[in-house]
């Protein structure tokens, strides 16, 4: 009977150690996931803020360039259409190459954030 008690006690100790280990691994996984998610969200927020600022700068610079072109053509509307045409061409180029310029870099960024340590 004493051997049975000893085996039972050691088995309970091993089970407790295994339970503690699994709980610690789970908690570590949750913390890593939370850290990586927070990092990705903060990066996205930074990109969003910089994007909004860039849009405003680009908008006002475009108005200025359109105004200068319009004055040189003696027709403000023509200047606006010229700048709009430039944006259409740029937009078509970006649309045709969206995988290279947008999709692949975004996917690579998220893969780096979630699978590689800093």
Please indicate, yes or no, whether the overall pTM of this predicted structure exceeds 0.75.
no
> Nearest to residue 68, comparing CAs of 54, 55, 57, 78?
78
Q: State how far the Cα of 76 lies from the Cα of 22, in Å rounded to an integer.
A: 70
Q: What percent of the chain has pLDDT over 90?
A: 52
Structural domains counted in the chain: 1
83 CB-near residues (< 8 Å, 6+ apart)? 62, 65, 66, 69
> Nearest to residue 87, comparing CAs of 106, 59, 54?
59
Contact 80, 70 (CB under 8 A): yes
- Res. 54 pLDDT band, cuts 50 70 90: very high
Domain span at residue 31?
2-115
What pLDDT is recorded for position 118?
A: 53
Tell how far CA 56 is from the center of its chain: 21
């Amino acid at each position: 009977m004493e051997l049975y008690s000893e085996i039972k006690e050691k088995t309970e100790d091993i089970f407790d150690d295994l339970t503690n280990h699994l709980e610690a691994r789970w908690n570590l996984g949750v913390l890593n996931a939370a850290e990586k998610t927070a990092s990705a969200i903060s990066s996205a927020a930074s990109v969003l803020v910089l994007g909004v600022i860039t849009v405003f700068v680009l908008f006002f610079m475009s108005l200025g360039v359109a105004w200068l072109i319009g004055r040189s053509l003696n027709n403000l509307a023509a200047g606006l259409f010229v700048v709009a045409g430039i944006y259409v061409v740029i937009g078509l180029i970006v649309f045709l190459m969206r995988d290279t310029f947008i999709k692949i870099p975004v996917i690579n960024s998220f893969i780096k954030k979630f699978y590689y340590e800093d």
